Amino acid sequence: MRQLTIRNRLKDISGSKSGWTLFLDRDGVLNRRPGDAYVMHPDKFKWIPGSLEAMGIFPDFFDRIVVVTNQQGIGKGLMTEKELFQVHAHMLDDLKIRGGRIDAVYYASGLRHLDSFNRKPGAGMFMQAKGDFPEIDFRKSVMVGDSFSDMLIGYRLNMVTVFISTAKLFPRQYGYMADYQFYNLIALSDYIKKARTHSST
C-alpha cells in the first residue's frame, strides 16, 4: 500500500545537489507522439512546446536526468539502432543550446511480447540506470510519462509519478498510480519552482 505522504513529495525537491533523479519518458513528453509510427529521423523529432524550455530548468532541481524509452520499432526491424542514435544526437544538440542536460538515454528495443523485463512497465532500464548511477534512490526520483506503463513502473518502484496529459479529466484507472498530472513539462517545472519558493519562505 502506498502511503499518502508521497503526494506532496515534489515539494521536497530542494534544488541541485538535492539527490533527486528525474526519469523521463520520451515520446509524448519531450517530443510529439509520432502516432503509430516511430521517430526514425532527426527531422521527425518535434519538441512539444515548453519541453525544451523546461529541460533548461530541470538541472536546477535534479542531480540526474535520464530518459527511458520503449522503442520496439527496432525489434520490428522498422528502424536501426544507428537511426535511433542519430535522433538522440539531434535531441541532445538542441538541449545543449538551451542549457539542458540528459545524463543517459536508455531504450528498450525488444518486442512487446518478448521483452517484458526491459520494456516499461518492466524495470530493466531503471536497473541499468541504477547500475550506472548507484546513488540513484527511487524514492527520491520522479517518473514522468504519458502512458499507463510509465505510471505503473514508477508506482512499482515507489517513485513520484507525474502523468503528462492534455486531457481535462484524470483517467480513473490512473488514480492510484499517478501522483500528479500536468499538461506538459513546463507546467511541471513551474510547479516545482513555486513549491520551492513557498517552502523556503
Spatial separation of the C-alpha atoms in residues 71 and 146, rounded to whole Å: 15
Compute the least distance from the CB of residue 152 to Mg ion, in Å.
Answer: 13
34 near Mg ion, judged by CB under 5 A: no
The answer to whether 171 and 146 are in contact (CB under 8 A) is no
- Of the candidates 63, 83, 94, 146, which one interacts with Mg ion according to CB under 5 A? 146
25 near Mg ion, judged by CB under 5 A: yes
CB count, 10 Å around CB of 175?
A: 9
* Span of 28-36, 110-118, 153-161, 167-175 interacting with Mg ion by CB under 5 A: 28-36
Spatial separation of the C-alpha atoms in residues 188 and 55, rounded to whole Å: 11
Question: Exactly one of 12, 25, 115, 150 is catalytic; which is it?
Answer: 25
Nearest to 130 by CA among 152, 161, 112, 157: 157
- Of the candidates 20, 21, 23, 27, which one interacts with Mg ion according to CB under 5 A? 27
- Of the candidates 11, 12, 19, 28, which one interacts with Mg ion according to CB under 5 A? 28
179 near Mg ion, judged by CB under 5 A: no
Spatial separation of the C-alpha atoms in residues 115 and 108, rounded to whole Å: 8
Is 94 an active-site residue? no
CB count, 10 Å around CB of 49?
A: 11
Compute the least distance from the CB of residue 1 to Mg ion, in Å.
Answer: 27
Taking CA atoms, 200 is separated from 66, 148, 195, in Å, by: 27, 34, 9
| Nearest residue (CB) to Mg ion, 14 versus 166 | 166
> Of all residues in this chain, which one has the CB nearest to Mg ion in the complex?
28
Q: Whose grid coordinates read 513528453? A: 29
Is 36 an active-site residue? no
Catalytic positions are 25, 27
Residues that bind Mg ion (CB under 5 A): 25, 27-28, 146-147
